[in-house]
């Protein structure tokens, strides 16, 4: 459980780094894009899983791993730690979110299969963040009108609620029109989703068209804190925060009115997909809050909030 008080408030006082902390470079698997990172801290080391692509071949995302001792300067490993090698992820493994449950890392990611034109929520487990055992797709077809399209962007709460695992995920009614749902499981493989979404868009606001889970949730004294991403009709991607009830993960306690991050810098407003700040990594080490995000689907940025 998060012990530092006021994480919800601290996240509303982030300061961005002036430049990306990671950019595409070299001639390897991530030479054309690094984005959408998930980060965990173990001891004195930060571990970042990130989505990467190389445009020399048809677009196929892979997952890279980088490490850091200060949370800012990362060293990338030369080869991906996850490749799309299963039929359900034929054209990419994307957008990792890491949760550590007991001694096991549970990875939620998106598998892309263009044959069916669909995105699937997939899970994998590891004990070292390098070798992954894939569990396969766990949520695919929609069961209600609100999520009859693609499902993706899952995050798993790192503590059980009433003895069950909890997952928040994006459901799509039609392209770009999304809401966030919740599902429950006893074994990480078989999931039962609630019939109604738990977070919806807000007309006239920065998240008026779509909402999507961001970083792995943090269980605090107040509730389950979820950093999420949203966009408006112009598809400008911004980041906000929502707090759910610890005993009822489908009940919203509070939600930020204004975004905590939005694209303002040239490397956020221009790139492969302009006007995107897409947060997927959150680390609070007690002294500093780190929010890692993909910028314009091209590079990785960082915003921090210092302890009061």
Report pLDDT digits (tens) over 249-268.
999 999 999 999 999 999 99
Kindly indicate the confidence band of residue 221, based on its pLDDT and cuts at 50, 70 and 90.
very high
**pLDDT exceeding 70 applies to what percent of the chain?**
94
3-state helix, strand, coil in the chain (%, to 5): 5, 50, 45
Chain centroid offset of residue 307 CA? 24
Please state the rounded mean pLDDT for residues 106-125. 85
Q: What is the pLDDT of residue 55?
A: 83
Question: Rounded distance, CA 10 to CA 62, Å?
Answer: 33
| The total number of structural domains that make up the chain | 1
Q: Residue 306 in contact with residue 292, Cβ under 8 Å?
A: no
Q: 56 lies in a domain?
A: yes
In the prediction, which pLDDT does 3 show?
A: 44
Interatomic CA distance for residues 63 and 80, integer angstroms: 5
Residue 225 in any domain: the answer is yes
- Ramachandran bin of 37, using left for φ above 0, alpha for ψ from -120 to 50, beta for the remaining angles: beta
- Is 30 within the bounds of a domain? yes
The burial of 11, by beta-carbon neighbours within 10 Å (0-12 exposed, 13-18 middle, 19 or more buried), is given as: buried
The CATH number that applies at residue 209 is: 2.115.10.20
pLDDT bucket at 4, cuts 50 / 70 / 90: very low
In a domain, 73, yes or no: yes
For residue 56, what pLDDT is reported? 79
The 8 Å CB, 24+ separation contacts for 196-202 are 196/144, 196/146, 197/146, 197/147, 197/171, 198/168, 198/244, 198/249, 198/250, 198/251, 198/252, 199/228, 199/242, 199/252, 199/255, 201/177, 201/230
User: At 300, is the pLDDT very low, low, confident or very high (cuts 50, 70, 90)?
Assistant: very high
- CA-CA distance, 31 to 13, in Å (whole number)? 33
User: Does residue 253 sit within a domain?
Assistant: yes
| Cα gap 288→62, rounded to integer Å | 30
Q: Which pLDDT score, from 0 to 100, does residue 136 have?
A: 92
Beta-carbon contacts of 16 under 8 Å, excluding residues fewer than 6 positions away, are 261, 264, 265, 301, 302, 303
Chain Cα centroid distance, residue 232? 19
Q: What is the dihedral of CA 189, 192, 193, 195, to 10 degrees?
A: 160
In a domain, residue 220? The reply is yes
- Whether 2 is covered by a domain: the verdict is no
Mean pLDDT of the chain: 93
Average pLDDT over residues 201-213: 98
pLDDT value for 251: 98
Instruction: Report how far residue 89's alpha carbon sits from residue 110's, in angstroms, rounded to the nearest whole number.
Output: 8
pLDDT digits (tens, 9 = 90+) for 28-79: 999 999 999 999 999 999 999 999 999 877 668 999 999 999 999 999 999 9
Question: Residue 1's pLDDT is what?
Answer: 42
Q: Is 1 domain-assigned?
A: no
**pLDDT for 141:** 64
Q: What pLDDT shows up at residue 112? A: 87
**Domain ranges, residue 139:** 7-306
Of 129-133, 139-143, 148-152, minimum mean pLDDT range: 139-143
The mean per-residue pLDDT over the stretch 187-204 comes to 95
pLDDT at residue number 48: 98
């Amino acid at each position: 459980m998060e012990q530092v008080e006021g994480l919800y408030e601290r996240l509303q006082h982030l300061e961005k780094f002036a430049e990306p902390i990671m950019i595409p470079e070299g001639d390897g698997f991530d030479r054309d894009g690094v984005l959408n990172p998930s980060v965990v801290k173990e001891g004195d080391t930060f571990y970042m899983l990130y989505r990467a692509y190389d445009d020399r071949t048809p677009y196929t995302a892979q997952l890279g791993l980088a490490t850091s001792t200060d949370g800012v300067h990362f060293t990338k490993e030369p080869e991906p730690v996850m490749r799309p090698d299963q039929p359900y992820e034929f054209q990419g493994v994307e957008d990792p979110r890491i949760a550590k449950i007991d001694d096991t890392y549970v990875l939620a990611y998106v598998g892309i299969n263009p044959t069916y034109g669909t995105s699937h929520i997939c899970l994998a487990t590891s004990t070292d963040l390098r070798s992954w055992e894939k569990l396969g797709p766990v949520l695919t077809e929609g069961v209600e009108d609100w999520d009859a399209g693609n499902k993706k962007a899952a995050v798993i709460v790192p503590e059980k609620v009433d003895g069950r695992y909890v997952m928040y995920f994006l459901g799509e009614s039609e392209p770009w029109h999304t809401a966030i749902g919740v599902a429950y499981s006893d074994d990480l493989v078989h999931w039962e989703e609630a019939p109604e979404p738990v977070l919806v868009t807000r007309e006239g606001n920065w998240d008026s068209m779509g909402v999507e889970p961001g970083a792995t949730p943090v269980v605090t004294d107040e509730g389950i804190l979820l950093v999420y991403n949203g966009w408006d009709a112009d598809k400008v991607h911004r980041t906000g925060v929502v707090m759910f009830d610890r005993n009822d993960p489908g009940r919203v306690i509070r939600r930020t009115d204004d975004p905590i991050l939005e694209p303002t810098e040239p490397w956020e407003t221009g790139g492969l997909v302009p006007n995107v700040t897409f947060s997927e990594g959150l680390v609070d080490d007690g002294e500093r809050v780190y929010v890692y995000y993909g910028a314009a689907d091209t590079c990785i940025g960082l915003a921090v909030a210092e302890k009061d």
